[in-house]
Structure 1
Amino acid sequence: MTGARDFGFVRRAADGTTAPIDRAVAVEMPVAIEFNGIGYAVLMATPQHLEDLAFGFALSERLIDRAGDVLDVVAHPAAAGVIVRVTLAKRVAGRIADRVRHRASESSCGLCGIENLEQALRPLPRAVRTWAGDEDAPFRALAALDALQPLGEATRAVHGAAACAADGAPWLVREDVGRHNAFDKLIGAMLRRGQDWDCGFALLTSRCSYELVEKAVLSGCPMLATISAPTTLAIERAAAAGLRLRVLVRGDALLAIP
């Protein structure tokens, strides 16, 4: 499936002149994910690299521990979007029902609400690696990223997630209208290829939210860099897990959170 479609617009200039133009618009549609026949989540996503998305999302949800836990991924076009059916190995299948129960009761209150809060902030493992790369690496990664985002260049409406070497060279990029989806696609692509962060880091074209921090930690990433600011919870979760953060990355400056 394509990640963009052309639409006709009328361009209106400040001087009052108008002209018809065609412009690429990022595709956003519902992507329903099923695990072992159980409806799990509906993501609003760009329908590219959906197998990567399935692997990365499953890891981020702690349904799998490794690529071999995913036995099959099949995407089925539907009238309103896409259904991605994922088959997980028997050894992890029991996790699905438990997570579905917590996800289905997110709007509950009282004791159930307390349980949901605990689930939302489940303890993270300690980061498996400590960042010890080149401190100028995020600047190099940022300078190279635009050229590696064809969908972003065409639409200016999607997020990018890049896996970068320790010296800042991006070696794998995924894009999506959703920042979480873009990162899940990147993590899933790495998982499917059997590649790890190898002392490198992730650069995301988004704010640094706690969900992205958790995805980084669970994927074994030693450092997360983002072009926008962090939230308090992102900083706290990163500190607890030992994940290094570099935020508000610009061409001439960044903020380092040890």
Structure 2
Amino acid sequence: MSRAFETLGVELADAVATITLNRPDRLNAFTRQMHAELREALADVRAGRERGTVRALVLTGAGRAFCAGQDLGDRQSGPAGAPPDLGASIEENYKPLVLALRALELPVIAAVNGVAAGAGASIALACDLVIAGRSASFIQSFAKLGLVPDTGGSWILPRLVGPARAMGLALLGERLSAEQAAEWGLIWSCVDDGELQPVVRELAMRLAAGPTCGYARTKQSLWASSTNDLDTQLDLERDFMRELGRSDDYREGVAAFIEKRAARFTGR
């Protein structure tokens, strides 16, 4: 986690990795370089999880925005000035990013410190927990460009807020405040701007000290429930419980409960 990036800030402390989207002059909008660097940073996080040095991840933005989505000036035109292939951009960059965030076997927290628009909103909502500052907002800006919610937005939105609200957000492209997002269940919580980083830091450290394997299987089982039928989901729960029942963390959790003390989980 020590490598330097041009479009990201990366830190590791107390088993918490923090990745900061760092193009504040462009509201942290995505470029091909940022995508490439983020893939490398997430690979480092995965490697750190395997070593046991990373047990939680925070994703946030520098300056006054979380992420404004795609930097439209960075998109390449096709041959002879033909329109850009937006599908290629999804396939090469945004789809792998969402799947990589979902596949991380540790808790992922989005600390939304300002506007999260377009793909930026979708990336935040693809994280496991979303904490937003009170001045933050979420905008499904795709309709204003004649596009559809991408980066998983069309899948995530109706599952979080229901089809009626998802349709309104997608078609109207109106700004949704952090407070309203919390009331609707789109995000976990909204806090005062000055409290965002301390609250997220405390939560991330709490999760990093917890039963990491159990957290990983919990997030996997909840995401899988969106498409599994009950019988399949019950089988998945059985398989995960069998695996976790053999873990060091389960033995430690039982011992701590019996001995009436705080558990000392190792994430194994």
- TM-score bin (small chain): under 0.3
Normalised by the length of structure 2, the TM-score is 0.25
Normalised by the length of structure 1, the TM-score is 0.25
Larger strand percent = 1
Larger helix percent = 2
